[in-house]
Amino acid sequence: MRPSRDISRLIEIMAALRTPQSGCPWDLEQSFATIAPYTLEEAYEVADAIERGDFANLREELGDLLLQVVFHARMAEEEARFDFGDVVEAITRKLIRRHPHVFGDARDLSSEEVKALWGRIKAEEKRERAEARRAAGLTPDEAAGTLAGVPLAMPALTRALKLQEKAGKVGFDWNDPRAVLAKLREEIDEVEAELAEGDADRVAGEVGDLMFALVNLARHLHVDPEAALRGANAKFTRRFAHIEARLGAAGRTTAEATLEEMEALWGEAKRRENAATK
């Protein structure tokens, strides 16, 4: 078996790995549920390579992500549910249907007109899926609803944003970011009140409400909360590395330093960054 640029070779390799007796024991043990976490991990690694601008690594990570698709498709084929060809057909059908301005009669549309067209097509697809789910014996609540289609497995921060966007499209939203700021202050007060009561579960619930409100504020300010938090994480990492480096230069570790010393070095790192951006 040799490497190839042909997708059929990847499908053949996956089939060989999943062949009983002669395949890989680890691959044979896997299921949709056990592979799903790896699928999410590979998607994050693709995003990480893009953020770092590492295109050699991006090529590798995209291959790893493609493997996840082939893996899931192979397991589905073994259960006579669908195969990789069905996956390709489904996405090509969706792309053609959602781009009538490219593949159909709707021509010369503006960007805003394209967005409106997508909305109508997606609403039609949603109705069709709802009918199909009802036909399969699911209840209306499972088959439809404004918030339907936001995956439970999606990272909580991103899912909060998607839920808010969907609710906003039907008018359940604030019109002014200042109203969201007021809600944020209200949630902070509720966290403080529950801290005074000492109920850990209720505190956790209020912290969740506070985080949800913060995502809402980011949305109203046209800030991607996931990207903003990644930026904050990177900033924290840089500044903490500065603390360790400065202490290391003095022959000390963070375990030997006081909180006051580390906060002073944190301030030093912050001032340097601010000066560098002016």
CA angle 237, 241, 244 (to 5 degrees): 145
pLDDT at 148 over 90: no
Neighbours of 2 (CB within 10 A): 4
Return the half-sphere exposure (C-beta side, CA atoms, 13 A cut-off) of residue 30. Answer: 23
Alpha helices in the chain (DSSP H): 7-17, 25-29, 32-52, 55-78, 84-98, 100-103, 111-135, 140-143, 156-169, 177-197, 200-220, 225-249, 259-276
Neighbours of 29 (CB within 10 A): 8
Question: How many beta carbons lie within 10 A of that of residue 71, not counting itself?
Answer: 19
For helices 200-220 and 156-169, angle between their N-to-C axes, nearest 10 degrees: 60
Q: Which of 37-41, 125-129, 163-167, 272-276 has the lowest mean pLDDT?
A: 125-129
Q: What is the mean pLDDT of residues 213-231?
A: 93
Query: Which amino acid is present at 57?
Result: N
Instruction: Of 186, 180, 178, 181, give the one whose Cα is nearest residue 164.
Output: 180
Fold of the CATH domain 156-223 = Helix Hairpins (1.10.287)
- What is the fold, at CATH topology level, of the domain defined by 1-96? Helix Hairpins (1.10.287)
C-beta separation of 24 from 67 below 8 A: no
Q: What is the dihedral of CA 158, 162, 163, 167, to 10 degrees?
A: 150
Q: Which pLDDT band, with edges at 50, 70 and 90, does 141 fall under? A: low
Average pLDDT, the chain: 91
In which band, very low, low, confident or very high, does the pLDDT at 177 lie, cut at 50, 70 and 90? very high
How large a percentage of the chain has pLDDT more than 70? 97
The residues near 190 (Cβ < 8 Å, ≥ 6 apart) are 206, 209, 210
Contacts 24+ apart (CB under 8 A), 118-122: 121/97, 122/98
Q: Binning pLDDT at 50, 70 and 90, where does residue 218 land?
A: very high
- Whether residue 15 has pLDDT greater than 90: yes
Asked whether this chain's domains 1-96 and 156-223 adopt the same fold, the reply is yes
Rounded CA-CA distance 224/260 in Å is 33
Q: Would the pLDDT of 111 be above 90?
A: no
Domain residue ranges in the chain = 1-96, 99-145, 156-223, 226-276
- CA pair distance 107, 179, nearest whole angstrom: 41
CA atoms of 230 and 224, how far apart (whole Å): 10
Residue 172 reports pLDDT greater than 70: yes
CB-CB contact of 180 with 218 (8 Å): no
pTM, 2 dp: 0.66
Of the two residues 100 and 86, the one the predictor is more confident about is 86
Per-residue pLDDT band for 139 (boundaries 50, 70, 90) equals low
**In the chain, % of residues over pLDDT 90:** 70
Separation CA 239–CA 244 (nearest Å): 9
Reported as a single tens digit per residue, the pLDDT across 78-93 is 999 999 999 999 999 9
